[in-house]
Structure 1
Amino acid sequence: MDRNSNAYTFIFAIAMVIVVAVTLSFTATSLNPLQKENVRKEKMQNILSTIGIQTSRDEAEELFNKHVTQQYALDHTGQEKEGINAFQVDLAKELAKPVEEQTFPLYLANYEGQEFYIAPLRGSGLWDAIWGYIALKDDANTVKGVVFDHKGETAGLGAEITTDWFQQRFVDEKIFDEEGNLVGVSVVKGYSGGNNKDDNQVDSISGATITGDGVTAMLSKRLKNYLPFFKKRQEIKVVTR
């Protein structure tokens, strides 16, 4: 066939498209198990991070198994569901179901002689989904730490929820108000409370009001899913209603 002909060019182009498509498909299929494993270990890293354990991806599973002593898959009444692996629950998919059918994962961790409750979070920012984890001390009221992430928030503005300086603001904040109502922690524009850890508020990110509102709503809504469970825990000394 004449290499200078249109037919040759057309056939060559089709052949190249097929070769590239097959190569990309094979590569994606080959890497899929590795990608899933990386996501699984990153999830362990994030959970551990809320209680102050910073670790590499390679060490994450060992430390997770050491410090996470129990995993609960709860229904909306706070009862544990049988036969469900809490770690494998996809909260994004659960929140699309009627609340009576949803499953809420909760992790009990022990670190440096203290117990912590760690709950996954999911909500909406300015442009897309935001998510993360929050760890509560054994009073189920005081925040030990948080981790936030996002899909499409604006760099330098809403995307700052992933930074240490913002997440540190939540440490030692309370999720119950003085009357015992679960209110979460509000991200407040123009906050003037200084280092007050009992007002259920933190300062917002400048220029990211909507993302901050999304964090506020996410914390309140997701934590209330665990209120029935906390009520059943007799050793918890907070007022819950």
Structure 2
Amino acid sequence: MEEKTVNKTNTNSYTFIFAIIMVVVVGVVLAFAATSLQPRQYENMRQEKMQNILATVGVETDRAGAEALFEQYIKEQLVLNNEGQEKEGVNAFDVDLAKELKKVDTEQNFPLYIAEVDGETYYIIPLRGAGLWNAIFGYIALQDDVNTIKGAVFDHLGETPGLGAEITQEWFRERFTDEKIFDENGELIGVSVVKGNSSTSKDDNKVDAISGATITGDGVSDMISERLQHYLPYFKSKTELNVASNL
């Protein structure tokens, strides 16, 4: 009687073993790719961060030229405590605001970049807050009077395309240029993103909001005022502004 030959490739055990091998192989390939690309990804993030910081003071560059221009224009990188005093042993560029915001104010690190462009000094402050769906963040540069905004850059992790995500657009960022962060009484109030604000005044502490993005706009307002408040002690040592005595 003739014996039947069993095709082992059609058995359940073969399929199961093959699937396990493929999962392991794919996992190893993906892990290797992630590890190999990690240094490049980190470098891209560093260069993009430099680009954003430089953009607040009007220095535009691509990633390839970011580091050279950063070293050229950024003259100091400080880390302050909540009393405006410089902290030693902390690199401003390495401070992660996402982690800092989880700490109490007295334990946070407050990075500050000081730039010199065409003979003018600017103070650049990192920002981070909450938008509609996720974190929003960016940088704001102040002129030497630490009252007038030179420029700002905003970004987000998950705002709605065409609405809140528009905070990244140049036309929105330009609304902040030359706005004041102190009011007429010398109190630091930042800049409010206000729906329907048609005023062209740069002394009213307000810019026009993005239609349909009220919550994101409120997040930008809150982010600016909250972050800047922590730099008041440092500002007081650098300006003749009549800062309110209770701040």
TM-score by length of 2: 0.95
Q: 1:240 aligns with which of 240, 243, 246?
A: 243
Structure 2 SS opposite 1:196: coil
- Counterpart residue number, 1:142: 148
In the alignment, is residue 166 of structure 1 matched against residue 169 of structure 2?
no
Structure 2 SS opposite 1:3: helix
CA deviations over 1:4-35 (Å, ceiling 9, x no partner): 21211111111111000010011101111111
CA deviations over 1:168-208 (Å, ceiling 9, x no partner): 10000000001110000000011131x11000000000000
Structure 2: 5+ residue stretches without partners: 1-6
- Counterpart residue number, 2:34: 28
Structure 1 SS opposite 2:233: helix
Q: Which amino acid aligns with 2:241?
A: V
- Counterpart residue number, 1:209: 214
Percent identity between matched residues is 63
Q: Within 5 Å, which residues of 2 pair with 1:91-130?
A: 91-130=97-136
- Counterpart residue number, 2:3: none
Alpha-carbon distance in structure 1 between the residues aligned to 2:243 and 2:109: 21
Structure 1: 5+ residue stretches without partners: none
Q: Which amino acid aligns with 2:68?
A: E
Alpha-carbon distance in structure 2 between the residues aligned to 1:210 and 1:176: 23
Alignment root-mean-square deviation, CA: 0.8
Q: Which amino acid aligns with 1:153?
A: E
* Deviation, structure 1 residue 229: 0.3
In the alignment, is residue 81 of structure 1 matched against residue 84 of structure 2?
no
- Counterpart residue number, 1:46: 52
CA deviations over 1:50-71 (Å, ceiling 9, x no partner): 0011101111010000100001
In the alignment, is residue 222 of structure 1 matched against residue 227 of structure 2?
yes
* Deviation, structure 1 residue 88: 0.7
* Deviation, structure 1 residue 143: 0.5
Q: Within 5 Å, which residues of 2 pair with 1:174-193?
A: 174-193=180-199
Aligned residues: 238
- Counterpart residue number, 1:10: 16
